[in-house]
Structure 1
Amino acid sequence: MSENLLEAAQHRAASVVDLAQRLVRAPSRGGIDPYEPVLTILEDWLTEHLLPHRRLRSPDGTLVGLLVEVAGASPGPWWALDACLDTAPFGDESAWSFSPTSGDIEQGWLLGRGSADSKLAAATFVHIAADVRARAHELAGGLAVLLDVDEHTGGFGGALAYLADPQATRPDGVMIGYPGLDEVVVGGRGLWRAQVKVHGASGHSGSSRPTVGAISRAAHLIHALDNADLPTPADGDPFALPPKISVTACHSGEGYSVVPDLCTLNIDIRTTPAYTEHDAHHLVHAATAALDRNHPTQHPTTVNTVATWPPFQLGPGQEPAATLLRAAKKTGLEPRPKTAGPSNIGNLLALHGIPATAGFGVPYEGLHGIDERAHLTELPHVYAVYHQTVLDLLRQA
């Protein structure tokens, strides 16, 4: 690795971990905790290190993130590092073997919710921004660090506010600091989501007259969707993952004596380049039309599309993945490019034509579950890889 960045990262690690510990100890569960405390910790650190930053707000004024910007000495492409500061909920706290806001280090692990996803990455990225600022005079373009506090809600408000901000330079690529040492995520399945309202005849459950309620009709629809014929990837397809359909929620009825006249289903379909949102839309509408035709009732089934994201996959040699993978090899790591099954913020960026990697970081356990923790031994290598990648990208102009 050039300029002995790995040795420099080893010296930086203690400061990174100290900042990450403070962030973990400030609970910031998405949609539950106030974000002011965790943002203030970072704002104080950024101010102390003379890094220009500002808060990001949604159109209604809600606080959704922080943006750090470091400009080079000459014009060129801008690149962004992205990490979320909000976290998943704690779940059953009694099941944890330590406090979800521990922030302690045991046997080389940083403990607590957000340690893996993604407060350690946030602490790493702002330190890299400080390193880049110290040599901005020799670089072109610029580096942005996006710190989102609306990621685990599914709103991605920080990213949307960043892209909509007229003062911000649109990035040529983004690297998202999700954890995992063995892979650089370069793609993900898209999604098509809909809420389906299935109607039926209501009545008393003890009535002598036959009643086909909404739940019974919904069961026919669920069976049809579960048995839908979805394509498998062709041999040699670089995307490789198949589409997937899931019924993720079913709401209807109350008590025992009334047969309900409405059942609401949530449908989630993961899409691929070979099976698009249009295919998903057609599948569900065809299935509901068949339900109404074969099991008629007074009111037709309705389908309301609530979200669509395209699949994405970076091509061989496409930035910023290519430079990130090269930098990893310089440190002796061999992460493989991976297209992920779940969608991620890279899908949102793909909607805006911005290429993104969505995962390379330290090993972890318990992400979104109990006993979340991040392993710190590999932190200097991860730090050096991102630092080298940013410097290489900012020198290409």
Structure 2
Amino acid sequence: MTDLLEALVARPSRAGVDDCTPVLGAISGWLERHEIPHEWMRDPAGRPLGLAGGIAGGRPGPVYLLDATADTAPFGDPGAWRHPPDRPTIEAGWLYGRGSADSKAGIAVFCHVLADLLPGRERLAGRVNFVFDVEEHSGTFAGIRAYMEKHLDRPPAGVMIGYPGNDRLVVGARGFLRARLVIHGLGAHSGSSSNRGINAIDRARALLGQLAAEPLAPPDDAFPLPPRITATGIRGGGSFSLVPDRCELDLDIRLTPAFDDGAARTLLQNAAARLDGDGAPATEIRWSPGWPAYRLEDGAPLSTALSEAAREAFGHTVPQGVAGPSCIANYLHTLGIPATAGLGVTYRNVHAADECVLLETLEPTFLAYRQALARLLR
């Protein structure tokens, strides 16, 4: 697993920067050498979207999908790294390199799970499919979307996503909704004593103050994270002598089951309506739809099997939990497909300098997934 992980880290696959053909080629070559059936996924222009395949059992049964992304975040400042981000380096048991945690370690683990299951596939009741996709870190999720569109006639009974971390098994996540507000004002000379205009930036600040004071839905035992509204961008003005007549405000809204898409839209529309009426043009809201929050039901076969296997493999209880950031599991939830995330290797600094994984946790991660699939496909 370490050898394969090093080979993948040594092939940069930054979303929107690198050609992902080399890293996918390395995975494909490994699968071919281990006689694991697979095919390349491509978009209409022929660009690679990932690799997909599977192992069929000897008896009918459910389909479970292993998914891990082959593209990565950017390097950031290479000078901030202890070791070059595209040169896998092992130091004190940690392997450094961009994508080592998110999620090339997951690919290395899943490849070995597949190779281990292959000789005894006749004993399986069902099928283990896999997809190692790209365009995850770009935000388009084109790889997993293309895979699901092709397999909607027989969707998987569950998906195991190979994100890192073994302090908990992620069985839920907040959703998100995004909005860009165009807040208008009335322009004037900033030094005028008779015509002060209406400052669009001041109106944007007032709107943010309203939103900060709004009571949102509280967390509960089933979903212990609260909703959140974060201003992530503001643009307006530009001349010292001009009262700005336009300001754009970007908002990221994190959703929960108790504060869903409809509640978020209503809250923001009401806040904008209260802001308007002072003589400036009405505020415009441009929505960028996202995904709803999700949480698997207690006792779901997928999460139960993986939790039990993780406890045995790691030698400690791996509690089920809810994550703040959304992920592909939110998208799968909209298709009615249960998914887990965040059971994987011990890691540090995902998306930051000195991303690294603890190599000794590769084996228990492998054992957890191997045993979970054996239970689910008895």
Task: Indicate whether the TM-score tops 0.5.
Answer: yes
Equivalent residue, structure 2, for 1:218: 204
When residues 239 and 42 of structure 1 are mapped into structure 2, their CA distance, relative to the original with a 3 A threshold, is: same
Task: Describe the superposition over 1:110-145 as per-residue Cα deviations: whole angstroms up to 9, x where unpaired.
Answer: 111101111011111012112222211111211111
Equivalent residue, structure 1, for 2:286: 304
Asked if 2 retains the 8 angstrom alpha-carbon contact of 1:72 and 1:137, the reply is yes
Asked if 2 retains the 8 angstrom alpha-carbon contact of 1:226 and 1:246, the reply is no
Equivalent residue, structure 2, for 1:323: 305
Q: Helix, strand or coil: the match of 1:256? A: coil
Equivalent residue, structure 2, for 1:391: 374
Q: Helix, strand or coil: the match of 1:328? A: helix
Task: Describe the superposition over 1:270-314 as per-residue Cα deviations: whole angstroms up to 9, x where unpaired.
Answer: 111111111100000001111113x331x3111122022111111
Q: 1:193 pairs with 145, 159, 178, which one?
A: 178
Q: Helix, strand or coil: the match of 2:336? A: coil
Asked if 2 retains the 8 angstrom alpha-carbon contact of 1:313 and 1:339, the reply is yes
1:269 aligns with 2:253: yes
When residues 94 and 49 of structure 1 are mapped into structure 2, their CA distance, relative to the original with a 3 A threshold, is: same
Q: 1:162 pairs with 129, 134, 147, which one?
A: 147
What RMSD over aligned residues (CA atoms) do the two structures have, in Å?
1.7
Partners of 1:345 and 1:154 lie apart in 2 by 10
Partners of 1:325 and 1:191 lie apart in 2 by 27
Equivalent residue, structure 1, for 2:89: 104
Asked if 2 retains the 8 angstrom alpha-carbon contact of 1:126 and 1:145, the reply is no
Q: Which amino acid in structure 2 is aligned with residue 288 of structure 1?
A: A
Q: 1:376 pairs with 339, 351, 359, which one?
A: 359
- Using the TM superposition, give the Cα deviation of residue 89 of structure 1 relative to its aligned residue in structure 2, in angstroms: 1.0
1:69 aligns with 2:54: yes
- Using the TM superposition, give the Cα deviation of residue 254 of structure 1 relative to its aligned residue in structure 2, in angstroms: 2.7
Q: Which one is further off, 324-333 or 50-59?
A: 50-59
Give the alignment of 1:1-397 within 5 angstroms. 16-58=1-43, 62-166=47-151, 169-208=154-193, 209-234=195-220, 237-293=221-277, 295-297=278-280, 299-331=281-313, 332-395=315-378
Kindly, what percent of the aligned residue pairs are identical? 44
Q: Which amino acid in structure 1 is aligned with residue 258 of structure 2?
A: A
Asked if 1 retains the 8 angstrom alpha-carbon contact of 2:345 and 2:357, the reply is yes
Q: Which amino acid in structure 1 is aligned with residue 111 of structure 2?
A: V
Partners of 1:168 and 1:146 lie apart in 2 by 17
Partners of 1:60 and 1:347 lie apart in 2 by 28
Runs of 4+ in 1 over 6 A off after TM superposition: none
Aligned residues: 376
Q: Helix, strand or coil: the match of 1:226? A: helix
Partners of 2:287 and 2:257 lie apart in 1 by 19
Q: Which amino acid in structure 1 is aligned with residue 266 of structure 2?
A: H
Partners of 1:58 and 1:168 lie apart in 2 by 20
Task: Describe the superposition over 1:187-213 as per-residue Cα deviations: whole angstroms up to 9, x where unpaired.
Answer: 111112111111122344344421213
Q: Helix, strand or coil: the match of 2:36? A: coil
- Using the TM superposition, give the Cα deviation of residue 24 of structure 1 relative to its aligned residue in structure 2, in angstroms: 0.5
* Structure 2: gaps of 5 or more residues: none
Q: Which one is further off, 377-386 or 205-214?
A: 205-214
Q: Which one is further off, 374-383 or 165-174?
A: 165-174
Asked if 2 retains the 8 angstrom alpha-carbon contact of 1:35 and 1:149, the reply is yes
Partners of 1:257 and 1:53 lie apart in 2 by 63
Partners of 1:60 and 1:310 lie apart in 2 by 31
When residues 190 and 59 of structure 1 are mapped into structure 2, their CA distance, relative to the original with a 3 A threshold, is: farther
Partners of 2:198 and 2:322 lie apart in 1 by 44
Partners of 2:312 and 2:57 lie apart in 1 by 24
Task: Describe the superposition over 1:166-199 as per-residue Cα deviations: whole angstroms up to 9, x where unpaired.
Answer: 5984211011111112110111111121111111
Partners of 2:273 and 2:360 lie apart in 1 by 56
TM-score (norm 1): 0.91
Partners of 2:154 and 2:211 lie apart in 1 by 44
Partners of 2:206 and 2:217 lie apart in 1 by 22
Q: Helix, strand or coil: the match of 1:284? A: helix
Q: Helix, strand or coil: the match of 1:135? A: helix
